Amino acid sequence: MINLDDWVTIRHRYANEKISKRELARQLGISRGTVDRALAAEAAPRYERKPAGSSFDAFEQAVRRLLAKTPRMPATVLAERVGWSGSASLFRAKVAAIRPEYAPADPADRLVHEPGKAVQCDLWFPHQPLPLGYGQEGKPPVLVMTSTYSGFVQARMIPTRTTEDLLGGMWELLQEAAAVPARLVWDNETGIGRGKLTEAAGAFAGVLGTEIRLLPPRDPESKGMVERMNGFFRRGFMPGRGFLDPHDFNDQLAAWLPKANARYTRSRHGAPADLVAADRAAMRALGPVVPDAVFRKDMRLPRDYYVRVFSNDYSVDPSAIGRIVQVTADLDTVTVTAGGTVLARHERRWARHQIFTDPAHVARAAALRRDYRTTAARRLPGHATVQERDLSVYDEAFGLSTAHVAGGLAGATR
């Protein structure tokens, strides 16, 4: 077989030096037929080794029979069923090569992102716990929102993944942007909805005039942009950092995000910070109506004058004991009101199963307790004033005079 160097030489000299095929064969010491084949070939010669076979060949037919019945059967299960004892990586590679023949194709269309159309939303959880206060540690969720056109990223750690906190986090980030995209894209997050939006999420979208789109299962391409950002947080933000509490985490994150948004991306031919202006110019401005994105609960204030919000108890002015009070909690504050009067306002805490007391409420309870005991003591028998009845009214009612009564008493004595 002719090698690549001889093939190049034959074609070059024949085309440029006008040397005959016979002369080329003589000068290069090869046969005339080799020259003919080199000039007739449409591609360069290359060495191809004859397949030597694989240890997988003996198991291939059994694997194919299983895939014909269950195309999505995992490679580990296939290996167990056919009795494979060789290299796991080799078996996975071989199965991956033949599985497309049995599994139906699931094409993904190329997405074209226009300015202002969509923002992808997702939750990211830090890989290391951070202090929550009162000796507790945890990994609260971080809400991440990435604009599909500019790639501009916003993020904020929130206390829980409940509906109220997810909506509150989105509202905070939308206020930072001062714009509302046409669509907010979510995976099947329980607090937003699974297959169908929660009632609160639907109301939130309606007030803002946007759409919250829930993606079908196993559709990573539709939300891959924000998914990649989650990995970027782990690689670019977390290493080497320590945090005092969630508020410190959010402060450090807010200081780092401008650097992340300033990085140049080849796919967009610019930095997200440079493209976000055009992106937001195509979005809608915030409307005059504020969406309901807080925790709300009406309850009767018990005698111990505490209300429970997300597993924590917060004190309330005890003068409202027995009345219906309105409890609201956003991402930062817990507020209790009754009839428009604020009865309590506490900083919302991230630790769980704690009791938080305002000293003013304790003092007020002590004063009310003293007043109650004083009032109750006045009502005891030793302090009661009993009205005395004038018995002469009965004499007058029966026509009896004082003389008659006295004579009657004297006769009874005799």
pLDDT one-digit tens code per residue, 115-124 = 999 999 999 9
Element (H, E) at 345: strand 341-347
Q: Which residues contact 252 (CB under 8 A, 6 or more apart)?
A: 241, 243
> What is the average per-residue pLDDT within 223-234?
82
Query: How does residue 408 score in pLDDT terms, banded at 50, 70 and 90?
Result: very low
Query: Which residue in this structure is represented by tokens 């055009």?
Result: 278
343 close to 330: Cβ distance less than 8 angstroms: no
The pLDDT value recorded for residue 218 is 66
Residue 370 has pLDDT above 70, yes or no: yes
| Mean pLDDT lowest among 60-69, 131-140, 143-152, 399-408 | 399-408
Q: Measuring CA to CA, how many Å separate 297 from each of 29, 86, 200?
A: 96, 61, 14
Could you confirm whether domain 118-281 is CATH 3.30.420.10? yes
Mean of all residue pLDDT scores within the chain: 87
- The domain spans of the chain are 4-40, 59-101, 118-281, 295-363
Region 41-50 average pLDDT: 78
pLDDT given for residue 414 in this prediction: 39
Q: What is the pLDDT of residue 268?
A: 84
Q: In terms of Cα–Cα distance, which of 319, 299, 336, 121 is closest to 222?
A: 121
Residue 382: is its pLDDT beyond 70?
no
Task: Tell me the residue type at 228.
Answer: R
Q: In what order do the strands lie in the sheet with 306-309?
A: 306-309, 312-315, 355-356
